[in-house]
Amino acid sequence: MTRIALVSCVKKKGEQPAPAQDLYQSALFLGYRAYAERKADCWYVLSAAHGLLRPDQVVTPYDRTLNRMLAPERRAWARKVQGQLRSVLPPTADVIMLAGTRYREEIEPFLTEQGYAVSVPFRGLGLGEQLQRLRVYRHGGHD
């Protein structure tokens, strides 16, 4: 079974174009990245500006978030991402969603409807609790 992680983008970014895995710089993203690298066979970034990004895909810094988009804009973003996911996900993948509610709201039901097993390991946890649980992955410990 192939495990694919989807990691949402964050506001804090570097100032120069960089691979997606290096552009996003918040503690939450770094923790999600470490978790994805430990638990999944491969991972992608859910970018508010670009949709689905490979970790090595070079991106220019931007200021866009789903949290400031109206529902129709978020649905259009989700349709784009759904199309991108169709082209990259193996038919029997397990999907790990490392993303907030806005990034999951249209993607999680889509994946479930397509027959994918979806897990959201940090659902319902506040930022502080997520960071505390992710610390072990960022610092090379065991879970």
Domain assignment present for 7: yes
Does 143 map to a domain?
A: no
Look at residues 105, 100, 6, 8 and name the one whose alpha carbon lies nearest to residue 48: 8
- pLDDT tens digits along 46-71: 999 999 999 999 999 988 888 888 99
Tens-digit pLDDT profile for residues 9-47:
988 888 999 999 999 999 999 999 999 999 999 999 999
Amino acid 97: pLDDT: 98
pTM of the model: 0.94
Residue 113 resides in a domain: yes
pLDDT category at 141 given cuts 50, 70, 90 is: low
Confidence of residue 143 (pLDDT cuts 50, 70, 90): low
SS3 22: helix
CATH of the domain at 103: 3.40.50
How far apart are alpha carbons 69 and 83 in whole angstroms?
20
Owning domain of residue 38: 3-138
Question: Residue 84: inside a domain, yes or no?
Answer: yes
Q: How many structural domains compose the chain? A: 1
pLDDT band at 137 (very low <50, low <70, confident <90, very high): confident
What pLDDT, on the 0 to 100 scale, is given for residue 139? 73
